[in-house]
Amino acid sequence: MRAPALYPLGACFGIFAALALPLALGACVDAPITADQLQADGTLRGGYAGGGVQQAALSAEPQKIAQAVRVSAVLASQAEGPLEDRAEFSAGVGTVYLHVRADGLLSSRRVVYRWRHGDFVAEVPGTLHSTDALMLGTSFDIAPEQSGHWEVDVLVDAVQGQGAGQAPGSEPQVLFHREFVVEAPAL
């Protein structure tokens, strides 16, 4: 009777290794580059690029990512320091300051601050920044004779809005709206 043929254990692993190696290499080639592998200027950190390997500069249009942004704000008569959120101001307030905070913002975003009083409208360009604290967004000088009902809006900048699918000539998207009153001067 003849004994079954025994293959050396190393030969079996050699076959598996020959099959597994291309699969393992294929998986590594498609692995995404992560943020911890990049320097501030976008180049790969040392050790990832390999010795003597040059990187090619690539140009690509940034992705348009829909993001939920929550804008909160404080209207105050103070430019800095402790702020008192107010809905009414005296006729002699001088300047009203809008301090804003944008939660969920992936990067800075151009906006327009729109101040309205009756038929008067003033638009001030600005930028929302991703931060966990209130920042001065805009301010507006109010003369004593400009008493009455006021509104301030934070709007998506027209150029960025059109890039996000906003039709040209349409009303810009409102990120934040606030109303306040400037009291009439005492006689």
Q: What is the CATH number of the domain that holds 84?
A: 2.60.40.1930
Does position 71 have pLDDT exceeding 60, yes or no?
A: yes
Could you give the CA distance from residue 150 to residue 158 in angstroms, rounded to a whole number?
Answer: 23
Q: Which domain holds residue 104?
A: 70-182
Say yes or no to pLDDT of 72 above 70. yes
pLDDT (0 to 100) of residue 40: 62
C-alpha to C-alpha distance for 69 and 89, rounded to whole angstroms: 29
pLDDT at residue 167, as a whole number: 62
Entry pTM = 0.61
CA-based nearest residue to 107, from 129, 84, 89: 129
Does 78 fall in a domain?
Answer: yes
Nearest one of 115, 85, 118, 87 to 101, comparing CA atoms: 85
Name the band, by pLDDT with cuts 50, 70 and 90, for residue 157.
confident
Instruction: Count the domains in the chain.
Output: 1
Does some domain include residue 46? Answer: no
In a domain, 16, yes or no: no
- Say what the pLDDT of residue 42 is: 57
pLDDT band at 116 (very low <50, low <70, confident <90, very high): very high
Pairwise pLDDT comparison (119 vs 24), residue with the higher score: 119
Helix/strand/coil percentages in the chain, nearest 5: 15, 35, 50
* 65 is a domain residue: no
Which band of pLDDT confidence, cut at 50, 70 and 90, is reported for residue 68?
Answer: confident
Q: Give the mean pLDDT of the chain.
A: 74
Per the domain annotation, does 115 fall within a domain?
yes
